[in-house]
Each structure stands twice: as C-alpha cells, then as structure tokens.
Amino acid sequence: MRSIWPTTDPVRPPLAGPKESCAQRSALTAQRPCRAARAFSLIEVVAAVGIFAIGMVAVIGLFAPVAKSVGSLADAEAAINVADLLTSRLRGQDLAAVGQLLKVSTAPNRHQLTDADNSPNTPAADPRLDPQLLFASRDGSKIGLYNDPVWIDPLTRQPSDLEKFFEIALIRNQTLSPPGIVTDSDGVSITTNSDETALFLAYTARVRWPAFVPDGTPTNRLRALPAGFNPTGTVRFNNSQKQVLFFAGTISR
C-alpha cells in the first residue's frame, strides 16, 4: 500500500502511543527544550493579597456613610409621614386645647422654643418636663404628650419612653393666629383665649429626632433616655446631633 506521506519528507508526525516524558522528548528533539510550568513566588502572592486587602478596606469604608445616608433619608420620610398624621389628629381636637400647645414669643427676640435650647443645663431643656411637647413613634402609629396613656407598654403595663422617636414642638404663627387680647366696650383691655372663637389656627411643627434612645440600665424602668442627655457633662441636654425638619400646617374649626 502506498504511503500518504512523501518519502522525501524527513519530518513525519509521531505515531500515537504512550506519552513521552519531558526528558525523553528533549533528548529526542533537541530543537525546542521542554520547560516546566512556572508558579507564583511567595512574594507575588503576599503582594497580591495585600493589594486585595487594601481595596476591600476602602470598599468597606464606603458602607458606613452610605448606610447612614440611607437611614437618614428613611427617617426624613418617616418625619414627613408623622407631620401629615399629626395634622389629621389635630383637626379632630378643640382649637382652644390645641392652642395651649403652641409655643409663642415671650419677649422681643425671645421665644419659648429657643429659650429651652439656649439653656441646656436647666430643667426647661428636659423634654420630659415640657407639657407642650408631643412625641411620636417612628411609624406614626402613636402620637401624644409625654405622659399620655398611649406610651404604656402593653406587656409590662408600665410607661415607657422607648417608642418616642420623634419630638414635636408646635410654633404658633402669630401673624395669622395671634394670641387674643380684646378690648371691651368700656375701653378696658382684657386677655382672653381667642382660640375659643377663632376660625382656624396656623402653626409650624418642628419635628426633631431621635427624641429618646434605648437605655439598658436595669434601674431605668422607662427603658430609654433623652438623646444627647449627659447628667454629668458640661452640657446636660445636647441636641446638636439631632436631625430636624419644619412643617407648616393649619387646622380649622
């Protein structure tokens, strides 16, 4: 049988058979010596791991501010929802009763709202002692004064500050809803509660959070403390770290 390979071709493909070792092939074919596969050195591995670790630390470092930003945005949206729910609640109340919650100016360049903030070491700065402040849970399902029954824990049947996340101060719009002083027919000025006959009340709600933070002290039956409260510090009630939003609203008779 005639071979398919020309007899004059000095190079023929090797026949199929057992695999030859690298040394055997190098000995048989001196044209291209066989090279063993090169592995990574220890220095290269350590350098790669170090670069990877530096990159991961940088990426992880971005998570904290991103998570904080997302949390702040969620709390702001919750504050907007609470402001809407608050207006709905107030519309069902007597205007004179709501008027008693509105903070007003006490003198030129002075206001009830800022008097407490400017005196952080006085009892007036303690939100637990302010009869005009309202509080709301994070989801807005509970809104009430500090000592309202809504804050009684259904499990322990004891009052708790743990759910009081938003602190709400109502500021009277004294241009649209001035506190009333009327003059009788004899020309004598007497102070009356004009909210009893007013058609509407205009106000601005300052929603600030967090109002209270959890406290694990066994002796604290209320289970939380005012945010920024430091009884032994130079500033007892520090509100500088709280977030705040303002919302305008009106309620009519």
Question: In three state form, how does the secondary structure of 73-104 look?
Answer: HHHHHHHHHHHHHHHHHHCCCCHHHHHCCEEC
Q: What percent of the chain has pLDDT over 90?
A: 54
Query: What CA–CA distance (Å, rounded) separates 170 from 204?
Result: 6
Dihedral sign for Cα atoms in the order 160, 163, 167, 170? negative
Cβ(208)–Cβ(92) below 8 Å = no
> Given this model, what pLDDT does residue 169 score?
97
Segment (H or E) for 24 = helix 22-28
Tens of pLDDT, residue by residue over 216-245, are 899 999 999 999 999 999 999 999 999 999
Q: Is the pLDDT of residue 62 over 70?
A: no
Dihedral, CA of residue 108, residue 109, residue 112 and residue 118, to nearest 10: -140
Tens of pLDDT, residue by residue over 68-84, are 555 678 999 999 999 99
Classify strands 102-103 and 134-136 as parallel, antiparallel or unpaired: unpaired
Cβ(205)–Cβ(169) below 8 Å = yes
Mean pLDDT for the stretch of residues 193-210:
91
Tens of pLDDT, residue by residue over 138-194, are 999 999 999 999 999 888 899 999 999 999 999 999 999 988 655 555 656 566 678
* Residue 121 φ/ψ, nearest 5 degrees: -105, 10
Mean pLDDT for the stretch of residues 2-13:
53
Tens of pLDDT, residue by residue over 20-46, are 555 555 554 555 555 556 676 778 777
Distance in Å from the first CA to the final CA of the chain: 116
Using pLDDT thresholds of 50, 70 and 90, give the confidence band for residue 54.
Answer: confident
CA proximity to 127, closest of 211, 205, 204:
211
Alpha helix (H) ranges present in 29-166?
42-90, 95-99, 112-117
Q: Where are the domains of the chain?
A: 57-252
Query: What CA–CA distance (Å, rounded) separates 152 from 139?
Result: 17
